């Protein structure tokens, strides 16, 4: 059972009987004498991805959840949902769109590098890798002589995600996208 002061990003804790993934921890030291340090914690529900902000005192005890992280590959989408395969034992599992709300903009068939969160032998969520490589399928024509620091334009990627890219990019190019901020990083 970790204390609030021991929380780190990526840990899974139990809040009101539900598994939450710690995303961000900020320590605040009050100026009053004798006041304890407060920890503002941003969490995401492991299944739905719903955000939850909580404030804890440093000595507050939390219940950690027994979980495993497994590397998975995205296979396909059908009427039942999104199907993934464990790359170690080839077992497959399907999750609904509501469980993958923050992941679906980065899914393309046979994509690898995703991490499944397994709680009590049930997959409760999938985390995308830090960056993904996607092909630009729609954008305005490239402008000759445009510099990298010039203005940007909207581009639609193969997964359907819309992002801002530099003017020099053309359709068919592969770009790296940050999955946390949903921003263009570079050409792949």
Q: Domain ranges in the chain? A: 4-64, 67-127, 131-187
CATH topology identical between 67-127 and 131-187 = yes
In the chain the first and final C-alpha atoms are separated, in Å, by 42
- Contact criterion met (CB below 8 Å) for 38 and 90: no
- Contact criterion met (CB below 8 Å) for 147 and 42: no
**What pLDDT sits at residue 163?**
94
**What pLDDT sits at residue 23?**
80
- In this structure, whether the domain defined by 131-187 belongs to CATH 3.30.70.1450 is answered with no
Residues of the chain with pLDDT under 70: 32-34, 144-150
**pLDDT of 40-50, one tens digit each?**
998 888 777 78
**What pLDDT sits at residue 148?**
57
CATH architecture of the domain with range 67-127: Beta Barrel (2.40)
| Percent of the chain as helix, strand, coil, to the nearest 5 | 5, 50, 45
Query: Which residues is 167 bridged to in the sheet?
Result: none
**What pLDDT sits at residue 147?**
57
- The hierarchical CATH code for the domain 4-64 is 2.30.30.30
**pLDDT of 145-188, one tens digit each?**
655 556 889 999 999 999 999 888 899 999 999 988 899 999 98
* C-alpha–C-alpha distance, residues 16 and 31, integer Å: 31
């Amino acid at each position: 059972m970790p204390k609030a002061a021991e929380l780190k990003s990526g840990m899974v804790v139990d809040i009101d009987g539900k598994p939450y993934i710690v995303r961000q921890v900020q320590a605040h030291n009050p100026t009053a004498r004798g006041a304890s340090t407060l920890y503002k914690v941003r969490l995401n529900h492991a299944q739905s991805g719903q955000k939850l902000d909580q404030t804890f005192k440093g000595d507050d005890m939390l219940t950690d959840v027994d979980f495993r992280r497994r590397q998975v590959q995205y296979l396909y989408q059908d009427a039942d949902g999104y199907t993934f395969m464990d790359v170690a034992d080839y077992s497959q599992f399907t999750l609904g769109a509501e469980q993958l709300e923050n992941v679906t903009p980065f899914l393309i068939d046979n994509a690898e590098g995703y991490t499944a969160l397994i709680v009590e032998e049930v997959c409760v969520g999938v985390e995308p890798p830090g960056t993904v490589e996607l092909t630009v399928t729609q954008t305005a024509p490239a402008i000759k002589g445009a510099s990298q620091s010039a203005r940007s334009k909207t581009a639609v990627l193969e997964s359907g995600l819309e992002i801002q890219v530099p003017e020099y990019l053309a359709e068919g190019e592969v770009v790296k996208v940050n999955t946390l901020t949903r921003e263009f990083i570079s050409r792949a």
